[in-house]
Amino acid sequence: MVIRVRLVQTDWLESKAGQALFRQECLLAQGVLERVFGDQIVQIGGWGPAGRLLESARTQATIVLTPDVADQADAYSQPEHLAIRSDSVDAVLLPHILETSPNPHAVLREVHRILRPDGRLIVLGFNPFSWWGTRHRVSLHGYPQGIRRHISRRRLKDWLRLLNLSIDEVRPCYLRPPSNNLLRRLQKSGYFANGYLLMARKETIPVTVVRPRLGRRPTLVEGLVNSPTRSAARAMSVSATHE
């Protein structure tokens, strides 16, 4: 079953629409990867020719990891259970793997685990509110075939915020030619774009060290503690004066 789905996706990517989408995705990936530095970036899931999406990466190493040994990849591991050390990766690229995985939340949790603080996550996804999204909902096998779901940008943002991943930018991908002024304005905003690229960053929670203040008591506590003593001393002084 897994091999069949992989072949269907490969066939679709070789179609006119698939090639047009992939060219734009490569351009979008190039624009963001040129600003990502570090030791290594990991692409989880095969999409297009192996390593093509990572050609513009400026990290010292690039790794393509897929769950299917039939794919051309550098390593093989299930996206929901990555064989990668925690806090060891500078950037992760997810090309439509959230839309094919049976458990996208588990994939995102694993990505959060392996990312270093301030590490970058780059997601390529399909827009459910586009023409392709409509076709996916009415198709028996999804569109493209093998895709389980389309995830909206808003929903993905909510998922990432729960994992303490802040959104850096979102870019629309593969705008179909508009047929009238209304569609032209909507497409300019990216609302009807068939796909999108989203980049997020793993936030670090700052730890504030509160140091105790030494050598001085709070005024209120000092007053409560010393009030009886001061009252007794004042009483003794008054008594000595009368004597």
Tell me whether residue 190 is exposed, middle or buried, using C-beta atoms within 10 angstroms of its C-beta: 0 to 12, 13 to 18, 19 or more. middle
For 2-202, the fitting CATH number among 3.40.366.30, 3.40.440.10, 3.30.450.40, 3.40.50.150 is 3.40.50.150
The pLDDT assigned to 209 comes to 56
d(C-alpha 52, C-alpha 166), whole Å: 27
Q: What are phi and psi of 72, to 5 degrees?
A: -85, 110
The structure's pTM equals 0.78
The pLDDT assigned to 4 comes to 37
d(C-alpha 205, C-alpha 239), whole Å: 62
Residues whose CB is less than 8 angstroms from the CB of residue 30 and which lie 6 or more positions away in sequence, other chains included: 55, 56
The pLDDT assigned to 68 comes to 81
The pLDDT assigned to 50 comes to 86
Direct distance between the N- and C-terminal alpha carbons of the chain, in angstroms, rounded to an integer:
107
109-132 confidence digits (pLDDT tens): 999 999 999 999 999 999 999 888
Reply yes or no: is the peptide bond before residue 144 cis, omega within 30 of 0: yes
The pLDDT assigned to 213 comes to 62
Segments in the chain below pLDDT 50: 1-8, 178, 218-227, 238
The pLDDT assigned to 227 comes to 47
User: Which letter, b or e, does each residue of 99-120 get, where b requires 16 or more Cβ atoms within 10 Å of its Cβ?
Assistant: bbbeebeebbebbbbbbbeebb
Residue 30: how many CB atoms within 10 A of its CB?
14
Cα angle 189, 150, 66; round to 5: 115
- Number of residues that make up the chain: 243
The pLDDT assigned to 230 comes to 52
d(C-alpha 135, C-alpha 128), whole Å: 9
For the chain, what are the domain ranges? 2-202
Q: What are phi and psi of 94, to 5 degrees?
A: -115, 95
The pLDDT assigned to 89 comes to 96
8-28 confidence digits (pLDDT tens): 466 888 899 899 999 999 999
